[in-house]
């Protein structure tokens, strides 16, 4: 009964959040340069980016258009690899002066003690590193023989600073699927408190590599694994908000599924484009900071994000879960947008049906 | 807008969890949500009032942190939230010239405030 009530309240909350459309999480794709060439990169970043880094002043001008800033507002500096920029600390101090919290998403390779201290002093409040397996598997996906060793050192530095809201993300794939328990034990031994698990959707370079996608049965096992480990409470483990997971809703995350792209989440991309999460198809760009007033775009556009009824096509057209799922994660809509790229719920239902048939 | 905000708060409270308001974008990092203290100031010579560049400022709020004063003897940092915090100002052994005595200062913060700002002027006496 309590679960039904909570689900009902959550649905109302989602509707109210969508109507309110308050910007409180902003990605800044400050560079598309990267020191790695990861096999699964959704942004197709590389060491020789075709774009120069965005000058900080340009982003700041866009930021300063924001009127009535949300009370808790976080800027997520992403890339490429943001640590390749030498001015992150200066950017961070300017954010804090204006009342914005900030953090970075990084592969951790360049995160040494000196950088750790300077970022802390500049007011960094949140940080995510990627760890995609034990040594061989992480280095394979990251395409770099030293990446595991370096991220381990970076983790040691960060966990020693309790004021950084820190988590590890793992892209679960064919190669690391069998290692989840070992990765968990490694993170616990490193005193990491939060661990977020993703699957990889076939966009960017990941589209070319079948080793990266999970089978239906593996996704189901992943849900069971996360749900079991959440009950054990040894580490704050959760599934990312990448998709609706049907009967596992309420079991694998702190909250029910809600894709907030374009509802609370915006982005300024490397070329000045204004969008939501950076991995969303660039055809959904709503404006450009070099031509438009950023906050006016946020307030007056973003209609395909706030009203997702256009997603009622393809397999979503007749789906009974649509009111809860609303087309799955926005990043699952690409190309002609006539069908969702990945339906997590369908994969789970397929696997459950196969299991039942085997019995 | 105000009405919607009230509705939002009521619905969020009814969910029996604060997590409805705390989220992270699926490819982002967690929210920056900790209270914090911003400390800035200048280190000068007690005798000459001239700024002292390159001096070490250190503190421990859960972990050891340090920084160096800039060419104008100025420093600034976010130090997290605390009730009281001891800051140490000292002369780096590697610097040539006049030696200065170490100075410890205890500052008062407020862990319940979202952001506390403190300004310090530190005068160091010669050894």
- Dmax (CA) for chain B in angstroms is 65
| Domain with B91 in it | 30-124
Mean pLDDT calculated for residue range B93-97: 81
Residues of B in contact with A196 (CB under 8 A): 24
**Residue ranges of chain B whose CB lies within 8 Å of a chain A CB:** 1, 4-5, 7-8, 11-12, 14-17, 19-34, 36, 38, 61-63, 65-67, 76-78, 80-81
> Does ipTM surpass 0.90 in this model?
no
In terms of DSSP bridges, do strands A236-239 and A194-199 run parallel, antiparallel, or are they unpaired?
Answer: parallel
- Dmax (CA) for chain A in angstroms is 62
Would B22 be classed as within a structural domain? no
Q: How many CB atoms lie within 10 A of CB A33?
A: 20
Per-residue pLDDT of B54-78, as tens digits, reads 999 999 988 889 999 999 999 999 9
Least CB-CB distance to A277: which of B1, B7, B25? B25
Q: What angle do CA A98, A104, A105 make, to 5 degrees?
A: 155
- The 8-class DSSP code of residue B126 comes to B
Task: State residue B4's pLDDT score.
Answer: 59
Name the region of B62 (left: φ>0; alpha: ψ -120 to 50; beta: rest). left
Between the alpha carbon of residue B80 and those of residues A140, A300, B36, the distances in Å are: 37, 37, 4
Would B120 be classed as within a structural domain? yes
Would B12 be classed as within a structural domain? no
- Whether the ω angle into residue A12 lies within 30 degrees of 0, i.e. cis, is no
Would B89 be classed as within a structural domain? yes
Across the interface, do A165 and B62 touch by the CB < 8 Å criterion?
A: no
Would B21 be classed as within a structural domain? no
Model's pTM, two decimal places?
Answer: 0.92
Q: What angle do CA A19, A24, A28 make, to 5 degrees?
A: 125
Closest residue of B to A17, CA-based?
A: B8
Per-residue pLDDT of A212-256, as tens digits, reads 889 999 999 999 999 999 999 999 999 999 999 999 999 999 989
CATH number of the domain that residue B55 is part of: 2.60.40.10
Across the interface, do A27 and B28 touch by the CB < 8 Å criterion?
A: yes
Mean pLDDT calculated for residue range B28-38: 87
What are the φ/ψ torsions at residue A52 (nearest 5 degrees)? -75, 160
Between the alpha carbon of residue A251 and those of residues A1, A3, A170, A338, the distances in Å are: 16, 11, 19, 30
Residue bearing the bigger pLDDT, B32 or B65: B65
pLDDT beyond 60 at A211: yes
Between the alpha carbon of residue A126 and those of residues A177, A240, B33, the distances in Å are: 27, 17, 8
Task: State residue A162's pLDDT score.
Answer: 83
Residue A299's pLDDT band, with cuts at 50, 70 and 90, is: very high
Mean pLDDT calculated for residue range A23-33: 95
**Contact (Cβ atoms closer than 8 angstroms) between residue B74 and residue B97:** no
Total of domains in chain B: 1
Would B91 be classed as within a structural domain? yes
Which of B29, B56, B68 to mutate: most A Cβ within 10 Å?
B29
Residue bearing the bigger pLDDT, A226 or B33: A226
Would B60 be classed as within a structural domain? yes
Residue B24's pLDDT band, with cuts at 50, 70 and 90, is: low
Between the alpha carbon of residue A269 and those of residues A82, A96, A112, A132, A274, the distances in Å are: 13, 21, 27, 25, 6
Closest residue of B to A101, CA-based?
A: B32
Restricting to A residues 22-61, those with a Cβ less than 8 Å away from any Cβ of B are 25, 27, 42
Q: Which residue, among A285, A289, A293, A300, has the nearest Cα to A66 in the 3D structure?
A: A293
Cα separation of A191 and A186, whole Å? 9
Task: State residue A310's pLDDT score.
Answer: 97
Would B10 be classed as within a structural domain? no
Restricting to A residues 314-343, those with a Cβ less than 8 Å away from any Cβ of B are 329, 331
């Amino acid at each position: 009964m309590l679960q039904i009530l909570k689900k009902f309240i959550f649905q109302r909350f989602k509707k109210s959040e969508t109507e309110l459309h308050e910007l409180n999480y902003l990605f800044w794709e400050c560079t598309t340069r990267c020191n790695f060439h990861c096999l699964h990169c959704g942004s197709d970043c590389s060491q020789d980016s075709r774009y120069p880094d965005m000058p900080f002043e340009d982003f700041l001008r866009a930021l300063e258009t924001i009127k009535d800033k949300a009370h808790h507002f976080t800027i997520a500096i992403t890339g490429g690899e943001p640590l390749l920029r030498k001015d992150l600390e200066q950017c961070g101090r300017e954010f804090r002066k204006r009342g914005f919290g900030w953090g970075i998403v990084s592969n951790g390779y360049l995160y040494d003690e000196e950088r750790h201290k300077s970022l802390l002093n500049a007011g960094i409040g949140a940080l995510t590193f990627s760890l995609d397996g034990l040594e061989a598997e992480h280095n394979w996906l990251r395409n770099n023989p030293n990446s595991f060793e370096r991220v381990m050192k970076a983790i040691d530095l960060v966990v020693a600073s309790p004021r950084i809201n820190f988590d590890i993300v793992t892209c679960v794939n064919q190669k690391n699927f069998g290692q989840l328990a070992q990765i968990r034990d490694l993170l616990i031994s490193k005193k990491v408190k939060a661990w977020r698990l993703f699957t990889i959707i076939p966009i960017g370079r990941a589209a070319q590599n079948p080793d990266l996608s999970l089978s239906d049965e593996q996704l189901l096992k992943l849900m069971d694994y996360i749900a079991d480990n959440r009950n054990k409470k040894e580490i704050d483990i959760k599934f990312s908000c990448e998709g609706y997971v049907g009967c596992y809703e309420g079991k694998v995350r702190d909250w029910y599924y809600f894709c907030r792209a374009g509802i609370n989440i915006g982005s300024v991309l490397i070329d000045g484009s204004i969008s939501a999460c950076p991995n969303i198809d660039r055809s959904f760009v709503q404006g450009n900071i070099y031509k438009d007033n950023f906050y006016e775009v946020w307030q007056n556009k973003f209609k395909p994000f706030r009203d997702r009824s256009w997603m009622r096509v393809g397999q979503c057209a007749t789906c009974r879960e649509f009111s809860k799922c609303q087309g799955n994660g926005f990043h699952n809509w690409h190309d002609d947008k006539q069908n969702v790229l990945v339906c997590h719920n369908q994969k789970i239902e397929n696997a459950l049906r196969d299991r039942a048939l085997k019995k | 807008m105000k009405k919607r905000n009230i509705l939002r708060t009521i619905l969020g409270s009814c969910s029996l969890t604060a997590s409805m308001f705390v989220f992270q974008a699926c490819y982002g990092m967690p929210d920056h949500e900790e209270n914090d203290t911003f400390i800035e100031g200048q280190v000068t010579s007690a005798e000459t009032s001239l700024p002292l560049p390159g001096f070490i400022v250190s503190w421990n709020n859960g972990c050891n942190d340090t920084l160096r004063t800039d060419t104008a003897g100025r420093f600034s940092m976010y130090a997290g939230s605390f009730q009281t915090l001891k800051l140490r100002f000292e002369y780096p052994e590697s610097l040539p010239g006049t030696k200065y005595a170490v100075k410890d200062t205890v500052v008062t913060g407020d862990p319940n405030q979202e952001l506390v700002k403190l300004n310090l002027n530190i005068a160091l006496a010669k050894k």
